[in-house]
Amino acid sequence: MYTNEQLNAIHSSKIGFEFEFFSKEDINETRLSLSNALNKKIRIEEKAHSDFVPTDEVYKLEPDNSGGSGMIELVTGPLPFVDAKLTLAKTLKWIRENGSTNDRCSIHVNLAFDGKLLGPKVNMSKLDIGKFVLNFDEDKVYEAFPKRKDSVYAKSIKFIVPLSGMTQHSPGMNIWKNYMFVQEKYYGVNFSKVPKGYIEFRYLGGQDYEKKYSTILSMTEHFITSLYETLVHTEYTEKDLKLLDSILEKHKHVFESYKTYSVFKEKFPKIKLMVDLKTADQIIEMYYPKMREKIFELLTKADLNEGLINYDSDTGRMQLKDADLMRCFEIEGMDIVDCKIQGNVINCDLFSCDLINTSVFQSNLFGASDVKESKIEDSYVSRNVMVQDSYVFGKRGVFSGEMEGGIFRQGRATKVARFSKDTEIIEIQKIK
């Protein structure tokens, strides 16, 4: 049950929806039919993420091939709660009668508040992201949409790590600045929209979401009340501080190991360090100050507890081998060999790795790497790499591997590239 204050917040919210779906008709007939059903003007845009910003009177309909050719997206402007509720009901009804959804379809909820009704206390620019992450009941969402829990497009926001090896206990306002939280787009909550005055919830969707009106409405109300409570009750509670302290306590051995190599050896005996493939302690001790920031990131952001790390003194680049990184917030700028990964990889060279539910950005995949249910953007994929049920896109990418199922949305492919019959190819440039 909601309090009167929460009910007032719900009815003072401004909600925009993004519906991804497939239509039985072409886009022109779809526009006309949806316009009549919703009693709104709808513009057709030629490309996804067009510059046109919808209003409460004019929506937009545009192609969105993230779920395959034929997927389209209806984007509304920000609507008062009562109008949004009605739009939600009518749109889902239309999809049930005239379209369909699959596992790659999502419904995004863009959320803000009417400042004229609630005053300056709901100013989104003042949102304390850390406090929101600490207090948001994400399990409630995953219980309602269990298949979205490990989706590469709606990953958990419950990832909090110390920002630096020098982080100390520091209660008070802006405490979150000592910690790292998710900021990237493909999480359950997209906080990058805050400068525009709203945040985007990406958790909801999946096959037949159009049949889940009550559940979607309930989750939307959950988003509203969670956001409102964070904006209005800005102080960190004793519970919040204890949780943050527990995070620091969990990483106590990491902080201690940050100081010297000898302490690192004691705290992480299963992680072996080398410099230029040499194992002499005196050499490693000499280079440890140059290595420790990257090591700290691996310990916190990738949850590393076992493996081999080599530092190349000529390039300043590090190599990681034989590690299990199944809770990886982010790895950036490394060579990774014979590892298992689930999470985010940026600007890395990967050799003979196993990846699942992973976002790969501007990286190179070599050797006998296996990639499953992942997103590969603007990356090179060599001929021995197997990509299964994944999403490949980006004009700068080059694909020479083998792909089974999934969607090749955009990119270049060499003559040695292989695609299964059930791989959907939308836009491809063949290169020698």
Residue type, 164: S
CA dist 53 and 59 (Å) reads 8
Phi, psi of 141 (to 5 degrees): -70, -45
In Å, what is the CA distance from 7 to each residue of 2, 3, 169, 199, 229? 6, 6, 36, 20, 12
Res 165: pLDDT: 65
Q: Is 248 helix (H, G, I), strand (E, B) or coil?
A: helix
- What would the DSSP string read from start to end of 341-395? EEEEEES-EEES-EEES-EEES-EEESS-EEES-EEES-EE-TT-EEES-EEE-T
What does the buried/exposed string (b/e) look like for 195-231 if buried means 16 or more CB atoms within 10 Å of the residue's CB?
eeebbbbbbbbbeebbebbeebeebbbbbbbbbbbbb
Answer yes or no: are the C-beta atoms of 38 and 59 closer than 8 Å. yes
Res 309: pLDDT: 98
DSSP letter assigned to residue 333: S
Sites in the chain below the pLDDT cut of 70: 164-177, 183-184
**How confident is the model over 380-416, as pLDDT tens digits?**
999 999 999 999 999 999 999 999 999 999 999 999 9
Answer yes or no: are the C-beta atoms of 224 and 78 closer than 8 Å. no
Res 244: pLDDT: 79
Res 173: pLDDT: 46
Cross-strand partners of 376: 360, 392
